[in-house]
Amino acid sequence: MIRLDYVNISNKITSDAGLDIEQKFSEYAPKIQEIITKLNMNKDKPGSFLQWMNLGYNEETVWYVKEFAAMVDGRFDNVLVLGIGGSIFGAKALANALLKPYWNLLSKEQRDNFPKIFFLDNIDPDEIKGLLDVLDLKKTLVNVITKSGSTIETMSQFMVIKDRLYQELGDDYRKNIVATTDKQTGILRQLANEEGYKTFVVPDDVQGRFSVFSAVGLVPLALVGLDIDEIIKGIKIMDLSLKNTDIKLNIAAQNALIHYLLDIEKHKYISVIMPYSSRLKYLGDWYAQLWAESLGKELDREGNKINNGPTPIKALGATDQHSQIQLYNEGKNDKVITFIRVKEFENSVEIPNIFEYTGLNYLGGKTINKLINAEADATAASLTNNNRPNLTITLPKINEYYLAQLFYMFEVEVAILGELYNIDAFNQPGVEQTQNYTYGLMGRLGYEESARELLEKSTAFEEN
């Protein structure tokens, strides 16, 4: 199992910045027990948005995903994933972590005949044009993912790509599309029905940021040969462990409570996630979105204005030691830093003993593996010396099984945090105003009022 180490929250950190963990665990044990019981009791209740807690048990979806991956095996050189936010971050982070590094630059043989994979998660015209220039769309399977079926960024990407596919393939274009969307509603569902695309369903009561283990994440991952059975195994074992209502045995509850108390009692309202592994680079995007959209809320459940919001920040070790660590060690003491360490890397790279008579001779014969973990230890120690609370999560290895544990643990942690803060972690009203203004600016029917309101506020928009 993955491990959470919180010794640098209590020992060696003074009481103005750290916590007496054992005392807090005892004090909050009944509350945590109540929260975990409630989450598990409500998970099947419609409208509770907790269906993601069942995704480890969705054998039917797993079967269909694997069947589809086997059916298209060998037919495509590329997979192109279209989406934004929760619909794409999870698969992007997992693919980057689990595929061999520089996957798209490897030969077909090196990729065991699996396709290259591209994630388009923005609407930058240069990026889109650049991608179209390098992709042979005839040999590309496009997986468009949107739960609502109408998200402006995803659907505009899709309109561009679909049109190109049609130009290149004529009526056969639909064989190159697989849509992941709501089972009944939304424009993409309607299009899929009318035009005959293969589809997968985003289950009800699963928000995008909690959807990585539904078809949303599993389809792209299976298409490039990743082992989704191992992913499911990882979720299940973690789910079992996180059903434990005893905080002493539940790492999601421990992690949630530590972050919550450091925020409300010690003003550590910034949560930094810092993996020491380039393969985990995009984990930070997924984590930041999970935290920001779930926990950044104006109102609590009773409607009181609280403007809740622990702020997530992503960093990468060792790279950001030469960027952000200066601030973390000496700047405002307002952060909790979570390191993610990998115990055993897939490869070992030895530093050759080539500059024997220089000041570099101490490195010769050591491994890069030892170096990166030494840097993680050194950073944790210096932060601790500077009285900065920090935690470490250790992955035995980077593989499907342990990453599924990690992602699922973070999801449960955020759900528990939502309860501790007494907010709804599963809505995102703060995103909607921007969307409505955009619709107004782009002339969508029904959004004239938003456009008028916006234009009244600033004449600068008229230029658009």
Matching residue, tokens 């679909």: 162
Alpha helices in 184-330 (DSSP H): 187-195, 215-223, 228-242, 251-266, 283-295, 325-330
Does 87 bind ligand PA5 (CB under 6 A)? Our answer is yes
411: left (phi over 0), alpha (psi -120 to 50) or beta: alpha
Query: Which are the contacts of 154, defined by CB distance < 8 A and separation ≥ 6?
Result: 82, 83, 84, 87, 144, 145, 146
Alpha-carbon distance of 256 to 259, in angstroms, equals: 5
CB of 146 or CB of 277, closer to ligand PA5: 146
Does 214 bind ligand PA5 (CB under 6 A)? Our answer is no
Min CB(359)–ligand PA5 separation in Å: 49
Does 154 bind ligand PA5 (CB under 6 A)? Our answer is yes
Out of 33, 48, 148, 399, the residue judged to bind ligand PA5 by CB under 6 A = 148
Alpha-carbon distance of 95 to 93, in angstroms, equals: 6
Alpha helices in 43-142 (DSSP H): 59-72, 89-98, 125-134
Out of 61, 207, 277, 373, the residue judged to bind ligand PA5 by CB under 6 A = 207
Min CB(42)–ligand PA5 separation in Å: 19
CB of 148 or CB of 422, closer to ligand PA5: 148
Site pattern 312..331 for ligand PA5 (x: CB under 6 A):
--------------------
Q: Please, which of residues 162-191 interact with ligand PA5 by CB under 6 A?
A: none
- Window contacting ligand PA5 (CB under 6 A); options: 3-11, 39-47, 203-211, 306-314: 203-211
Q: Please, which of residues 280-299 interact with ligand PA5 by CB under 6 A?
A: 293
Does 151 bind ligand PA5 (CB under 6 A)? Our answer is yes
Q: Give the E-state strand segments of 305-345 in sequence order.
A: 305-308, 311-314, 335-342
Does 61 bind ligand PA5 (CB under 6 A)? Our answer is no
Out of 36, 51, 76, 86, the residue judged to bind ligand PA5 by CB under 6 A = 86
CB of 256 or CB of 425, closer to ligand PA5: 425
- Window contacting ligand PA5 (CB under 6 A); options: 192-200, 204-212, 274-282, 371-379: 204-212
Closest Cα to residue 135, out of 109, 174, 103, 161? Answer: 161
In angstroms, what CA-CA distances link 158 with 93, 143, 176, 405? 21, 9, 12, 32
Does 147 bind ligand PA5 (CB under 6 A)? Our answer is yes
Does 209 bind ligand PA5 (CB under 6 A)? Our answer is yes
Alpha-carbon distance of 187 to 415, in angstroms, equals: 30
Does 84 bind ligand PA5 (CB under 6 A)? Our answer is yes
CB of 170 or CB of 446, closer to ligand PA5: 446
- Window contacting ligand PA5 (CB under 6 A); options: 54-62, 103-111, 141-149, 251-259: 141-149
Handedness of CA 247, 249, 251, 252 (dihedral sign): negative
Q: Please, what is the end-to-end C-alpha distance for the chain in angstroms?
A: 52
Structure tokens belonging to residue 408: 């699922």
Does 146 bind ligand PA5 (CB under 6 A)? Our answer is yes
Min CB(157)–ligand PA5 separation in Å: 11
Kindly report the number of other CB atoms within 10 A of residue 248's CB atom.
12
Phi first, then psi, for residue 137 (nearest 5°) are: -65, -30
Out of 18, 90, 115, 208, the residue judged to bind ligand PA5 by CB under 6 A = 208
Interacting residues with ligand PA5 (CB under 6 A): 84-87, 146-148, 151, 154, 207-209, 293
